[in-house]
Amino acid sequence: MSIKNIEAIRMDFPVLHQKVHGKPWVYLDNAASGQKPLPVINAISEYYLKYHSNVHRGVHYMSQLATDKFEAARKTVQHFLNAEHDHEIIWTTGTTEGINLVAATYGRKFLKEGDEILITGMEHHANIVPWQMLCEEKGCVLRVVPVLENGTLDMASFYELFSDKTRFLSVVHVSNALGTLNPVKEMIKHAHSKNIPVLLDGAQSSCHFAIDVQDLDCDFFVFSGHKVFGPTGIGVLYGKTEYLEKMPPYKGGGEMIETVTFEKTTYAGLPFKFEAGTPDIANAIGLAAAMDYIHSIGWDVMEAQEKFLLEYATEEILKIGGIKLYGTSPEKCSVLSFLIEGIHPYDTGTILDKMGIAVRTGHHCAQPLMGRFCIPGTVRASFAFYNTKEEVDALISGLKRIKTMFL
């Protein structure tokens, strides 16, 4: 494995080498979306330039070639997640669709009135609303594991919230707003001891460390391509075969059928049962290129850089004084959520933008979590492996400047 230094890695990301408002662009909004390395961009254009054809239906050469690459991409995802079978990899448009798919198929078929669905207080809206919709339709009840002051889950409550009516656990692997890495293996083990299936929302974990769905033993795992440095508009639902097989289809159309007559349609097997219509071929190929790229850099290199950036930024930001951090779990990913006391996050974000520094401000699509801390939102700087110490320094000096402008 070749270990590139950060400057060499940054050369793979053309978008980073730009100026915003006349200043070098500092991109610290990686938890919202990761940037794309050249191999991803090239894989997508190569597909359109050299072998675009529809998949799974043509006898002609290019259709076969496109099908081979498309199905090879599925295998790449299988290995990325260490799934047992490639038919357990279902293409979606992203995390949101993955959760909606499970709620609308497994949820509708197997959950009934009075059944309880367990989530946590640090879910983003995509892991709240689909379950609320299911609850409204079926009369199920949503139970929520509380979040402690340091941004970790109240595990005592987690155990207490299980009842003889609990039927499903859907939990975020890593919190987008706080960075907290949840003890999901422990949670999955407990749920399984009561025969309750578990969905892991991997939107924020799959970009930070290697995922092994067999080791985690989750029944479903969902994530978005764009957060793992792949294209927008594509994502993945992993499901164990035993669950996917007993779930009804999600959308109807071409690709997902075996035979169609006006009297009766029979459905295709896995994974095609869940993939109606022409799939997002180009972006599936682009996502596989992103995963190959990650492996070429190496998780160890990426994790080491992110750990360094988080520790350095945390240390430096606390030196400024008058700054409160949200999410101080000992187990966390490279997300720094904070408020400068007395300054609204929108004000901080607006001035940082003027300095060329991109952060996220607001409720991070996790309004209940912000409510938990009684704040309108936070400023969130989130680091990727291609960020540098100098970029953290720019953030810190920006924050110092902001304090003098507002206070």
Partner 1 sequence: MKQSILDTESEIIEEFEMFDDWTDKYQYIIDMGKSLQPLSDNEKTEQNLVRGCQSQVWLTAHTEGENVVFQADSDAIITKGLIALLVKVLSGNTPDEILAARLEFMDKIGIREHLSPTRANGLNAMVTKMKAYALGLKSLKG
347 binds partner 1 (CB under 8 A): yes
CA-based torsion, 228, 27, 204, 182: positive or negative: positive
- Quote the least distance from Cβ 361 to partner 1, whole Å: 6
Question: Which of the 8 DSSP states describes residue 307?
Answer: H
Task: Kindly determine how many residues on this chain lie close enough to bind partner 1 according to the rule CB under 8 A.
Answer: 17
400 binds partner 1 (CB under 8 A): no
The tokens 């109807």 sit on which residue? 252
Closest CA to 231 of 68, 33, 48, 86: 33
Phi, psi of 71 (to 5 degrees): -75, -30
DSSP track, 229-287: TS-TT-EEEEE-HHHHHHSPPSS-SSSSEEEE-SS-EEE--TTGGG--SS--HHHHHHH
CA-based torsion, 198, 172, 27, 10: positive or negative: negative
Q: Catalytic annotation on 365?
A: yes
125 binds partner 1 (CB under 8 A): no
Contact call for residues 116 and 293 (beta carbons, < 8 A)? no
- Part of the chain binding partner 1 (CB under 8 A), chosen from 36-44, 65-73, 132-140, 337-345: 337-345
406 binds partner 1 (CB under 8 A): yes
351 binds partner 1 (CB under 8 A): yes
C-alpha span between 184 and 202 (Å, rounded): 11
Q: Which is nearer to partner 1, 166 or 361 (CB)?
A: 361
- In 10 A of CB 336, how many CB atoms? 27
Pairing mode, strands 198-201 and 166-172 = parallel
Contact call for residues 200 and 220 (beta carbons, < 8 A)? yes
346 binds partner 1 (CB under 8 A): yes
- For the chain, the distance separating the N- and C-terminal CA atoms, rounded to the nearest angstrom, is 50
Closest CA to 77 of 98, 105, 56: 98
177 binds partner 1 (CB under 8 A): no
- Quote the least distance from Cβ 362 to partner 1, whole Å: 5
The C-alpha R_g of the chain, in whole angstroms, comes to 22
343 binds partner 1 (CB under 8 A): yes
- Part of the chain binding partner 1 (CB under 8 A), chosen from 51-59, 147-155, 195-203, 357-365: 357-365
Contact call for residues 123 and 364 (beta carbons, < 8 A)? no
159 binds partner 1 (CB under 8 A): no
361 binds partner 1 (CB under 8 A): yes
Q: State which of residues 344, 358, 368, 397 lies at the interface with partner 1 (CB under 8 A).
A: 344
21 binds partner 1 (CB under 8 A): yes
Q: Which is nearer to partner 1, 316 or 347 (CB)?
A: 347
Q: Which is nearer to partner 1, 141 or 351 (CB)?
A: 351
398 binds partner 1 (CB under 8 A): no
362 binds partner 1 (CB under 8 A): yes
Q: State which of residues 162, 354, 393, 397 lies at the interface with partner 1 (CB under 8 A).
A: 354
The residue ranges that bind partner 1 (CB under 8 A) are 21, 343-347, 349-351, 354, 361-363, 376-377, 405-406
Residues assigned a catalytic role: 365
